[in-house]
Amino acid sequence: MNTDPGFLRPADEKAVAAEEAARAALTGTGAYLMPPADVLACLGADASSWAHFAAHWQDLTVDAYAARRGTHRLRRYGHFSLSPVTGELRLLPHTEFVQPGNTNPLYESVDRHFDPLTDDFVADPVLRRVIGLLGRVAGVLDVAEWWSVKVHPFRVIATAEGGGEPSPEGRHRDGVSLVSSLFIGRDNATGGESTVYTPEGGEILSVTLREPASLLVSDDGGTLHDVSPIRPVDAAHPAHRDVLVTTLIPG
């Protein structure tokens, strides 16, 4: 995959300032919420390109592992390698997803097989620039010759009977350097509060993501995170919440 000319650095002063604020917060409190206007500036995305990117969430498949625990979740999975020096992004062969021990208590060291990202999703310029943005921000947390980048588009669905658990494992870490949640959208949903904690349980940041293109990033090595359940506002119709979770670790 060729390097995008906008991959290595933001295009304007607003984007530079936004990335500097994120890096400062990660080395300070350990978490940062980047507002949508700053995110879009960093990505060089307009309304049309964002709408095209968000449309990928209409083509996700069932997470059978979550379903066994009563959670209705759709997802896909992709694994990339990113050079922080050149911006080269490589899609790696599709394999199972395994979280390391002492991280996610429900699934640690379990091989989970998810459908791959679609070719259109992999080729989307917005996805490539999201990864580039996160690679630049993550540089304050670790030194990497290459970043191992794992990409998870999620849709969590809730009905009046339940099922809307974005984080059924509760407070946890993912065993990476940087963990991020890019908000895509929600419909007929209440709840879904994202909270980042100190290892001792103190609250660092808590927010209910409502504006598309909001980006929550945290230092996974020094924090825990959780998301509260969603429920339908109108019980006669299902609710859903769409996010892109992306993690980076040297590798």
State pLDDT tens for residues 174-224: 999 999 999 999 999 999 999 999 999 999 999 999 999 999 999 999 999
pLDDT reported for residue 12 = 81
pLDDT at 35 over 80: yes
Which amino acid does the sequence have at 176? V
Q: What is the pTM of this model?
A: 0.92
Q: Which residue has the higher pLDDT, 127 or 68?
A: 127
pLDDT at 4 over 60: no
Helix (H) or strand (E) run with residue 237 in it: none
pLDDT at 5 over 50: no
pLDDT at 123 over 50: yes
Looking at the chain, the whole-number percentage of residues with pLDDT higher than 70 is 89
CB 161 within 8 A of CB 237: no
Counting beta carbons within 10 angstroms of the beta carbon of residue 63, is it exposed (0 to 12), middle (13 to 18) or buried (19 or more)?
buried
The residue-averaged pLDDT of 119-136 equals 97
pLDDT at 6 over 60: no
Q: Which residues of 132-152 are buried (b: 16+ CB within 10 A; e: fewer)?
A: bbbbbbbbbbbebebbbbbbb
pLDDT reported for residue 138 = 98
Q: pLDDT tens for residues 64-120?
A: 877 666 678 999 999 999 999 999 999 999 999 876 666 655 555 567 789 999 999
SS3 37: helix
Interatomic CA distance for residues 64 and 161, integer angstroms: 18
Q: pLDDT tens for residues 15-31?
A: 999 999 999 999 999 99
